[in-house]
Amino acid sequence: MKVETILSQIDLGTMALPEFQRGYVWNRDQVRGLMASMYRRHPVGSLLTWLTPKDPSIIRGGDLGPAGTIELLLDGQQRITSLYGIIRGRTPRFFDGNAQAFTNLYFDLENEVFEFYAPAKMAGKPMWLDVTRLMHPDGLGEVLAPLAGPGVTANLQTYISRLTRLTNIKDIELHIEQVVGEDKTVDVVVDIFNRVNSGGTKLSKGDLALARICARWPEARTVMKTTLQRWHAVGFSFDLDWLLRSVTTIHTGQARFSGLADIETVQFKEALGQAEKATNRVLNLVSARLGLDHDRVLGGRYAFPVMTRLLAEHGGFRDAAEQDRLLYWYVHSFLWGRYATSVESVMNQDLTEVVGQADAVDRLIERLRASRGDLTVRPADFGGWSLGARFYPLLYLVTRMAGARDLAALGLELRAAMLGKLTSLQVHHIFPKAVLYRDKGANYSRSEVNAVANYCFLTQEANLEISDRLPEDYLAEAERRFPGALASQWIPTDPALWKVDRYRDFLAARRELLATAANAHLDGLMHAPATEAPIELPTEVGAAENAGIIEAIEPAVAELSIWATDHGFGAPVFELEIVDPENNELIIVGDAVWPNGVQEGLTEPVCLELDASTEVITRLSEIGYRCFTEVEPLKTWAEAVSGASAPDASIDTLATVT
């Protein structure tokens, strides 16, 4: 099929660029490489489409295509999106990405190269031509007039030949392989795509399920993103795949996206609305009862679809005891990484305990206990470090809910000291970082300095007052001014442990105290009396007044997000847990992680960890990560990778990565 015909099919709505989560991910080098290859008539690979029914209830003006079908472009999305943007001069409908990757592409008529507009180099130079303008029906005529001047006429035929070759890119025939048939389920099509596209980004079942839904209801992605934005505005971040999973469990009672294969638009809208309301109720519950009121401390996101299905099915809780037992299950599910791997399989196991079961909460707890063996928190569990550690949310939880008190200012309970200026919670190092790093003899590592057991939470006023004072000074003062405040924060009260040379002993002692407090609080949830009514759960969620303020990320690491965006890469995820897929154990909490590659899907996963050991680097490499321990080498490597698709590079690498 000719390129122009494909673009016309997209305009008519009979072929769609599916709404995959990764959206448009190509950079300018890849766009230039594609255009250079097409100009030279190099092979650019075939396309793969999936012929799937449209929802008859939303088709206006009759069916579009055989029996109301639409072709979803599976393999070739990046190439066709680039061509659409250049030739049409606008983004396709529902475009999701950076349009600057294909905007203002110019062609040097003299040297036959493609570059993006640079005023100093191209302004006033008639040989540099706007490719999009050329592709307009009248574009060729507009360009030829200035070329008829003196000194140009002699080469006019050569220039006309080159211009014709360029504009005729629209007439290049691209081979299309079509997947069609009632037996082509979501699972089958995903498998076909991933085999064809073995060199590029793997298509997930969620990607394809969402693409199919958007083909039937074009506004689906926009509506879902608006829902996600509402949560983001109040401090909680989820992604499309997660939301789609929640809709799936609401509608089907199981986790696999194949359950959405035959869902009608009206059913999907209803399930989406139910999923949003149920999620709001769960967010309100964990915020009010557990104090987990912002994104950093919201563990176990994949426990939510199970809880929302339970709420949707039961309509609520019988009493406060059942409500608290569900929270007990939720906390333990993220403490022990219940959904860290094999999300669909594990979630389906848990959903069997929910769907149609009157005692769903107790069944969930028993299944978790059976898989884990023991739900007791031990001191060693608080041995992690950084804000991304699995037990960091538990520290925040017990601080918020167990009457922890401020160590300065007025020494108030933290949950009662949240109103007014300088009173939001902040992370505080009990042994300040500056103090520990000054002790050259002890040589404390970064992981020791940032140990979870060295964290507590204070109001901003208290944090500023304490600053980087010696623990032996300010802790003694806090105990004198506010008796019991240290114990309320599970800080050892033995003054001998407040000295810098006893820091490691201090950590061990505090882990003991934290484990005891955590078990007491969680056991309280498990064995709450059944006499009280459950908390009323609003179906709307608002921003928490006291959402925790996270301590500043290392400046060199924080700057990476700006640098990555400026260079056309995806933004990193800070403080991300990387789990070993073989044993579900935490390998490391990466300082900055690109789990899908710095350019999504086009490189291996990347991790920056400033304090990684040789063993950790080796294991990350074994599971497919490229690991860096310094910022500058990461930047150099990423820039080199992004420049691999130079204008004269073979299109083979582009054709297999859409």
Is-contact 208 75, C-beta < 8 A?
no
Q: Which residues of the chain have pLDDT under 50?
A: 21, 56-66, 416-423, 545-550, 552, 644-658
Fill in the DSSP letter of residue 129: E
CA 326, CA 624: separation in Å to the nearest integer? 36
CA geometry: angle 646, 649, 655, nearest 5 deg: 105
Please name the helix (run of DSSP H) or strand (run of DSSP E) that holds residue 607, with its range, or none. Answer: strand 606-608
Nearby residues of 246 by Cβ (< 8 Å), 6 or more positions away = 275, 278, 279, 304, 305, 308
Nearby residues of 181 by Cβ (< 8 Å), 6 or more positions away = none
Is-contact 413 405, C-beta < 8 A?
yes
In tens, the pLDDT along 265-310 reads: 899 999 999 999 999 999 999 988 898 888 888 888 999 999 999 9
CA 128, CA 112: separation in Å to the nearest integer? 10
Reported as half-sphere exposure (CB side, CA atoms, 13 A), residue 588 has a value of 27
* 576: number of Cβ within 10 Å: 16
Is-contact 488 514, C-beta < 8 A?
no
Fill in the DSSP letter of residue 610: T
CA 135, CA 277: separation in Å to the nearest integer? 48
Reported as half-sphere exposure (CB side, CA atoms, 13 A), residue 182 has a value of 0
CA geometry: angle 75, 186, 194, nearest 5 deg: 40
Instruction: Please give the structure tokens belonging to residue 454.
Output: 């060295």
- Is the Cα dihedral 270, 22, 203, 172 positive or negative? positive
* 548: number of Cβ within 10 Å: 23
* 565: number of Cβ within 10 Å: 12
CA 6, CA 169: separation in Å to the nearest integer? 12
Nearby residues of 289 by Cβ (< 8 Å), 6 or more positions away = 323, 324, 327, 401, 535
Q: What is the pLDDT of residue 540?
A: 79
Residue type, 331: V
CA 284, CA 160: separation in Å to the nearest integer? 67
Cβ burial of 217 (10 Å; 0-12, 13-18, 19+) is: buried
Q: Which of 40, 69, 32, 33 is nearest to 54 (CA)?
A: 69
Give me Rg for the CA atoms of the chain: 29
Q: Which of 457, 459, 467, 456 is nearest to 409 (CA)?
A: 459
CA 183, CA 52: separation in Å to the nearest integer? 11
- Is the Cα dihedral 182, 183, 189, 195 positive or negative? negative
Q: What is the pLDDT of residue 567?
A: 77
- For 224-293, the DSSP string reads HHHHHHHHHHTT----HHHHHHHHHHHHHSSS-GGGGTT--HHHHHHHHHHHHHHHHHHHHHHHHHH---
Please name the helix (run of DSSP H) or strand (run of DSSP E) that holds residue 195, with its range, or none. Answer: helix 186-196
Instruction: Please give the structure tokens belonging to residue 296.
Output: 């950093």
Q: What does residue 360 show for φ and ψ, rounded to 5 degrees?
A: -55, -45
Reported as half-sphere exposure (CB side, CA atoms, 13 A), residue 428 has a value of 27
Alpha helices, H only, 379-423 = 392-401
Instruction: Please give the structure tokens belonging to residue 406.
Output: 């401020």
Q: What is the pLDDT of residue 64?
A: 44
CA 80, CA 65: separation in Å to the nearest integer? 20
Reported as half-sphere exposure (CB side, CA atoms, 13 A), residue 247 has a value of 28
CA 580, CA 619: separation in Å to the nearest integer? 8
The residue with tokens 């594609």 is: 34
- Report yes or no on whether pTM surpasses 0.95: no
Instruction: Please give the structure tokens belonging to residue 654.
Output: 């582009």
Residue type, 181: G
Q: What is the pLDDT of residue 550?
A: 45
